[in-house]
């Protein structure tokens, strides 16, 4: 039985005060939810303060990125060790914005995933195709390649601590959403790729989210598909009412 996981990626929004105000609303509105996992991913500046606000609640803390070294002369980077120290449990890596704007590739994402797992943190690994790749019929080839590369060298027992998020790039922040059946088809492809790499047991156990303009009005249709185990939510996670509606789909 895969427990749905709904994660809110706040991206570069919310000052510390705004972050505190939002999580205080969420704590109240989501206090009665016990059949799914809830994660919020504020910007780095708000992580420690939000952690203290979330202590003792059913909402878990995630970060939006990390580097793969514990420490060193890496100006501007944040390590898994630092994130672990302030109460982070999940870390989003490989988001299309990181791949697209900052030229992150699968080799780097694989290093990050391994570093996070070594520190007891849980990677949310994002994969997905651009509009051009989709129109060229490359979705299946590209997504499979990303999964193979991002999970390369990761042991079967570690998969229980990994979440994969299928995020078609053309649906990020555009208002466009893959149809529920199309999203489910690609996520089933991802699950089958995990099966090829590992076994049916691991494939049936790993949680795979959908991300890409998930909103209250489409959440139920998307999140009740057979292979979709939750959502990585962008813009709709910035308001308590809309994120609550998605969590309670």
What does the DSSP assignment read for 172-232? SSSS----HHHHHHHHHHHHHHHHHHS-HHHHHHSEEEEESS--HHHHHHHHTSTT--EEE
User: Is residue 95 annotated as part of the catalytic site, yes or no?
Assistant: yes
Which residues sit opposite 122 in a β-bridge?
90
Do 205 and 195 contact (CB within 8 A), yes or no? Answer: no
Do 163 and 208 contact (CB within 8 A), yes or no? Answer: yes
CB atoms within 10 A of CB 154: 19
Instruction: Locate 107 and state its tokens.
Output: 């080799």
Do 44 and 73 contact (CB within 8 A), yes or no? Answer: no
Sign of the CA dihedral with 204 first, then 35, 234, and 219 last: positive
53, 95, 97, 104: which is the annotated catalytic residue?
95
What does the DSSP assignment read for 126-160? EE---HHHHHTT-HHHHHHHHHHHHTTT--GGGGG
**Cα–Cα distance, 130 to 230 (Å, whole number):** 21
User: Is residue 48 annotated as part of the catalytic site, yes or no?
Assistant: no
97, 129, 167, 202: which is the annotated catalytic residue?
167
The residues assigned a catalytic role are: 95, 167
């Amino acid at each position: 039985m895969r427990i749905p996981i709904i994660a809110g990626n706040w991206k570069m929004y919310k000052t510390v005060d705004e972050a505190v105000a939002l999580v205080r609303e969420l704590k109240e509105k989501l206090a009665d939810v016990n059949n799914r996992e809830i994660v919020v991913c504020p910007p780095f500046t708000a992580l420690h303060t939000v952690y203290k606000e979330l202590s003792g609640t059913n909402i878990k803390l995630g970060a939006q990125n990390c580097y793969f070294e514990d420490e060193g002369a890496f100006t501007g980077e944040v390590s898994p060790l630092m994130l672990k120290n302030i109460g982070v449990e999940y870390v989003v890596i490989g988001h299309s914005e990181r791949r697209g704007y900052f030229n992150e590739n699968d080799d780097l994402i694989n290093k990050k995933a391994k570093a996070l797992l070594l520190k007891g943190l849980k990677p949310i690994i994002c994969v997905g195709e651009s509009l051009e790749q989709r129109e060229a019929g490359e979705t299946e080839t590209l997504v499979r390649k990303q999964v193979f590369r991002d999970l390369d060298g990761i042991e079967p027992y570690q998969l229980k601590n990994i979440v994969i998020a299928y995020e078609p790039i053309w649906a990020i922040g555009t208002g466009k959403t893959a149809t529920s059946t199309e999203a489910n088809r690609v996520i089933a492809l991802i699950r089958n790729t995990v099966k090829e790499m590992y076994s049916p047991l691991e494939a049936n156990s790993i949680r795979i989210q959908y991300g890409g303009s998930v909103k209250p009005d489409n959440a139920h249709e998307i999140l009740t598909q057979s292979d979709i185990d939750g959502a990585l939510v962008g813009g709709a996670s910035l308001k308590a009412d809309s994120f609550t509606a998605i969590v309670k789909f």
